[in-house]
Structure 1
Amino acid sequence: MMLDRVLRIVAAALIVGGTLTAHKSSAQDGAKIAAGEVVYNTYCATCHGDGLVSSGQTFDLRRLEAGARSRFENSVLGGKGQMPPWKGVLTSEEIDQLWHYIRDNAYQK
């Protein structure tokens, strides 16, 4: 009986703690996404299109897969093709925000 009660208390604490953590993560992600949209509109939209909708002349950023973060960061920092390098212009925080914005707007498969 006592063990059953302890297990219920522990389970309830884990559920509440997990819910609070998920809410905090969602709020942080939402802030990153909003900030990333500002970064995108400031530095990227001219070539990659409003709302990530490319004219077809540049890479469609909505096609970036979750596992492509390293490739994305390398392209942003070092440039690629016609895209200039943004190293020294964008901070690592801005690149992280940009990544969250792009992933939030990626094609859902």
Structure 2
Amino acid sequence: MSTEDIKPEATYEVGCHCDTSHEKVTWHNGSNERVARYMFNTKTRDHMFCPKCGASMGIDYEKKLPDKPLYGISVRQFNNIDLDSLRYKKFDGMHKMEPAVDLSGENIDSKTPIPASF
């Protein structure tokens, strides 16, 4: 993320509202060094967050699929988006991505019951 006044080509304003310059925040080359990252559970995909407010920016699948860079960007971070008017393309992650593994090393799949504590 950057708070520069001049936007490079092919950039998009995002909805991270950490300070008064939030409308100048844009994605551009080099932004990936400025987002905070955290890997949950399987430690295979970086979840990207705003380092100031913690807003979820998306998921970086690049490490999981190095031959085919792929990012899941949270559309909620873009300004002036009417979520109710969007048309969604469903992604079958259960069949397109290999199953997650919990920290104990046991495979998790669609048949594994979720513990009642969740």
| TM-score bracket for the superposition, by shorter chain length | under 0.3
Bigger Rg, which one: 1
Using structure 1 for the length normalisation, give the TM-score.
Answer: 0.23
